[in-house]
């Protein structure tokens, strides 16, 4: 029998000693430590509410707050089709961390409560909070976004709004499967079930049908839906065929008597990204529903909601980039290679600065969009026109940048960035989703063309926004002039829709940064992004103060 010698004291000690391992980035203020986000809050009218955002930011960035993001994904929701007696139940159970995180976000106003907030900066505040919440756990942002965005659609039909709006905007996280009419029900989550197997972008191909019942105002919905996220929600918007064409309906999970509403979950999907949010395949079998908007105008009706969820894709992608930026800078600021701190080595400093630049551009864009949402909701026609086109422009661009950014940020952490103990594998897997759902890249670029052709006032509003930054940078002025030439040349071919959208996005980000960001950031953006070939992450042109940009984005935790 062989024996294993006990290790010597010295060997044990040296094996256990670790050096050059950066501490975990935690116990920081996810919102308040983000200089660009705080400045954007102040610039877009929410300066008086920065302290309120900081309270949430500290809770999110605490060790417990960050741990909730890990736990909700390490212990994903479970679908229980039947109860113990064999009765169909379709119950979804979650890790307690999911509920903790969701409750924090809903109570902070990241769901639908913003629509009951009379403050003139409410949408801007909510956007900053959403960016904070998304940095900790991305899956939760899906129900939060849908519950937020559904309110303008609910309001299209009085009976529907009366039933649901008080619950959606209450700021109470209440997951009990009770009907909306139950006096005990204090809050609700709302989702959407649009996509079917045969088509997600082209929802006109939906085969789900809705038939009116004898009860005035109620319909029966029957059909299969292929992607239904936050499937535990209290109600779902669906698109279904009616004699008038595709119509929009709201299907509650429970009927008014508390019974099941013919809503069966076939299975949960095994996704690339977050594990925390249950995305399911669902069948509706004669489910009772209320019509929303006019019959046959379902696509138009649901667009009242999709403007909001698209905005939240921009916010979510901004969060991906902020997480990558601060994690990369933190790691490189505590890690030595070849005897020197990584963050101080020029090739790494340039990469970190470029990540920060992209993240900062996204942050200003995201909050500008939220400001437009606020002003549009208040009836400002210029804001309505600007938001109509800036929405798809930024949804395309910011969401396209996030996966590239995430991969580069992860690489800054070397091998550690590739393992699940780092936060970055989760952001890396999540990043592509924002570009797919709520209209994929091509769909957004084609929507930009559609807005230009059908609503020319959008182009005027967009160019007016760009011109507000004119004269500050010769590169920006040249880029705007080129964009005007492209637009002025007439109808843009579909094959060039992306190219046009990218030009518009870069000009918008440049214009925002020259007006609002520190000169070191604005100059770097214009030099790095507005000339041909700009955009490969980590390849900053000469003459940029990379150290200053990195210092602005370093979190002292
Ligand atoms: C994790 C996850 C969660 C989701 N949750 C929900 C949900 O809760 N509710 C819901 O309803 N849906 C949900 N979806 C579905 C999502 O909205 C769709 O996947 C998306 O809209 C694309 O539809 P599709 O998958 O059918 O792809 P398709 O429509 O087949 O599109 C495939 C590709 O073709 C491109 N394309 C489409 N039309 C054109 C065109 N005219 N010209 C050029 N290119 C074009 C698209 O940009 C895309 O890249 C979810 C998807 C994912 C991945």
Q: Whose CA is nearest to atom 22 of ligand 1?
A: 200
Residue of 440, 450, 493, 495 with the most ligand 1 atoms within 8 Å of its CB, for mutation: 440
Contact between 13 and 31 under an 8 Å Cβ cutoff? The reply is: no
Q: What is the mean pLDDT of residues 278-287?
A: 98
Q: Does 8 score more than 60 pLDDT?
A: no
> What ligand 1 atom has the least distance to the C-alpha of 444?
47
Q: Does 340 score more than 70 pLDDT?
A: yes
Of residues 286, 293, 290, 306, the one with CA closest to residue 208: 286
Q: Does 30 score more than 80 pLDDT?
A: yes
Tell me, in angstroms, the distance from the centre of ligand 1 to residue 201's CA.
Answer: 5
> What ligand 1 atom has the least distance to the C-alpha of 225?
11
Q: Does 137 score more than 70 pLDDT?
A: yes
Task: Encode pLDDT of 56-78 as tens digits.
Answer: 999 999 999 999 999 999 999 99
Angle in degrees, CA 63, 68, 73, rounded to 5? 135
Tell me, in angstroms, the distance from the centre of ligand 1 to residue 122's CA.
Answer: 30
Q: Which residues have CB under 6 Å of ligand 1?
A: 191-195, 199-201, 227-229, 271, 279, 433, 436-437, 440-443, 446
Q: Does 471 score more than 70 pLDDT?
A: yes
Sign of the dihedral defined by the CA atoms of residues 352, 355, 361, 366, in that order = negative
pLDDT of res. 216: 74
* Cβ neighbours for 147, distance < 8 A, ≥ 6 positions apart: 111, 112, 168, 188, 189, 190, 233
Q: What is the mean pLDDT of residues 24-51?
A: 98
Q: Whose CA is nearest to atom 45 of ligand 1?
A: 442
Lowest mean pLDDT among 9-23, 104-118, 258-272: 9-23
Q: Does 205 score more than 90 pLDDT?
A: yes
Q: Does 322 score more than 90 pLDDT?
A: yes
The pLDDT confidence band at residue 2, using thresholds 50, 70 and 90, is very low
Tell me, in angstroms, the distance from the centre of ligand 1 to residue 87's CA.
Answer: 34
Residue of 193, 201, 226 with the most ligand 1 atoms within 8 Å of its CB, for mutation: 201
Determine phi and psi for 207, rounding to 5 degrees. -110, -10
Contact between 225 and 281 under an 8 Å Cβ cutoff? The reply is: yes
Q: Whose CA is nearest to atom 24 of ligand 1?
A: 200
Give buried/exposed letters for 245-263 (b at 16+ CB in 10 A, else e). Answer: ebbbbbbbbbeeeeeebbb
pLDDT of res. 555: 96
Tell me, in angstroms, the distance from the centre of ligand 1 to residue 433's CA.
Answer: 10
Q: Whose CA is nearest to atom 41 of ligand 1?
A: 443
Contact between 393 and 67 under an 8 Å Cβ cutoff? The reply is: no
Task: Encode pLDDT of 350-394 as tens digits.
Answer: 999 999 999 999 999 999 999 999 999 999 999 999 999 999 999
Q: What is the mean pLDDT of residues 445-467?
A: 97
Domains and CATH numbers, the chain: 35-154 (no CATH), 189-296 (2.40.110.20), 300-553 (1.20.140.10)
- In the DSSP assignment, the letter for residue 126 is H
**Calpha distance 284→206 (Å, rounded):** 13
Residue of 443, 494, 498 with the most ligand 1 atoms within 8 Å of its CB, for mutation: 443
Q: Which pTM was predicted?
A: 0.96
**Calpha distance 114→444 (Å, rounded):** 26
Q: Does 5 score more than 80 pLDDT?
A: no
**By CB neighbour count within 10 A (0-12 exposed, 13-18 middle, 19+ buried), where does 114 fall?**
buried
pLDDT of res. 511: 98
Q: Whose CA is nearest to atom 31 of ligand 1?
A: 201
Q: Does 92 score more than 90 pLDDT?
A: yes
pLDDT of res. 536: 81
Q: Measure the N-to-C terminal CA separation of the chain; round to a whole number of Å.
A: 52
Token readout for 101 is: 């995180």
Task: Encode pLDDT of 508-525 as tens digits.
Answer: 999 999 999 999 999 999
Q: Does 12 score more than 70 pLDDT?
A: no
Contact between 461 and 369 under an 8 Å Cβ cutoff? The reply is: no
- In the DSSP assignment, the letter for residue 289 is E
pLDDT of res. 55: 98
User: In the block, which residue shows the tokens 């606020």?
Assistant: 374
Tell me, in angstroms, the distance from the centre of ligand 1 to residue 127's CA.
Answer: 24
pLDDT of res. 531: 84
State the chain's mean pLDDT as an integer.
95
């Amino acid at each position: 029998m062989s024996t294993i010698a006990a290790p010597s004291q010295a060997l044990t000690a040296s094996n256990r000693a670790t050096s050059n391992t950066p501490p975990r980035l935690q116990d920081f203020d996810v919102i308040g430590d983000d200089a660009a986000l705080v400045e954007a809050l102040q610039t877009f009218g929410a300066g008086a509410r920065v302290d309120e955002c900081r309270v949430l930011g500290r809770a999110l960035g605490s060790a417990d707050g960050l741990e909730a993001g890990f736990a909700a994904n390490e212990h994903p929701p479970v679908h229980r089709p039947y109860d113990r007696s064999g009765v169909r139940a379709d119950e979804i159970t979650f890790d307690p961390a999911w509920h903790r995180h969701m409750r924090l976000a809903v109570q902070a106003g990241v769901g639908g409560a913003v629509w009951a907030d009379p403050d003139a900066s409410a949408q801007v505040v909510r956007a900053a909070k959403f960016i904070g919440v998304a940095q900790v756990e991305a899956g939760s942002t899906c129900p939060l976004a849908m519950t937020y965005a559904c309110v303008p659609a609910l309001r299209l039909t009085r009976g529907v709004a009366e039933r649901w709006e008080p619950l959606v905007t209450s700021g109470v996280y209440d997951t009990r499967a009770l009907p909306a009419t139950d006096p005990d029900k204090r809050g609700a989550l709302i989702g959407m079930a649009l996509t079917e197997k045969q088509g997600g972008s082209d929802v006109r191909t939906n085969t789900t049908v809705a038939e009116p019942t004898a009860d005035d105002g109620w319909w029966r919905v029957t059909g299969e839906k292929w992607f239904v996220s936050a499937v535990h929600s209290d109600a779902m918007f669906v698109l279904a065929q009616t004699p008038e064409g595709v119509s929009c309906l709201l299907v509650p999970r429970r009927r008014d008597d508390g019974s099941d509403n013919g809503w069966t979950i076939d299975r949960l999907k095994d996704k690339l990204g977050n594990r925390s949010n249950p995305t399911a395949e669902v069948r509706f079998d004669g489910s009772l529903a209320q019509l929303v908007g006019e019959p046959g105008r379902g696509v138009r009706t649901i667009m009242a909601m999709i403007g909001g969820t698209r905005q939240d894709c921009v916010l979510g992608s901004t969060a991906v980039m902020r997480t990558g930026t601060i994690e990369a800078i933190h790691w490189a600021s505590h890690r030595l290679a070849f005897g020197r701190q990584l963050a101080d080595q020029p090739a790494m400093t340039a990469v970190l600065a470029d990540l920060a630049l992209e993240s900062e551009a996204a942050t200003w864009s995201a909050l500008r969009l939220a400001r437009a949402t606020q002003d549009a909701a208040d009836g400002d026609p210029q804001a309505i026109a600007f938001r109509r086109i800036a929405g798809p422009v930024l949804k395309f661009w910011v969401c396209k940048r996030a996966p590239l950014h995430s991969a580069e940020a992860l690489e800054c952490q070397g091998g550690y960035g590739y393992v699940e103990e780092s936060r970055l594998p989760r952001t890396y897997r999540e990043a592509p989703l924002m570009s797919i759902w709520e209209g994929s890249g091509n769909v957004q670029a084609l929507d930009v063309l559609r807005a230009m052709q059908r609503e020319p006032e959008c182009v005027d509003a967009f160019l007016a926004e760009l011109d507000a930054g004119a004269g500050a940078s010769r590169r920006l002025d040249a880029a705007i002039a080129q964009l005007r030439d492209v637009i002025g040349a007439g109808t843009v071919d579909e094959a060039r829709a992306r190219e046009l959208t990218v030009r518009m996005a870069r000009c918008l980000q440049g214009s925002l940064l020259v007006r609002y960001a520190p000169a070191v950031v604005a100059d770097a953006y214009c030099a790095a992004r507005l000339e041909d070939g700009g955009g490969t992450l980590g390849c900053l042109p000469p003459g940029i103060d990379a150290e200053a940009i990195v210092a602005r984005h370093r979190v002292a935790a």
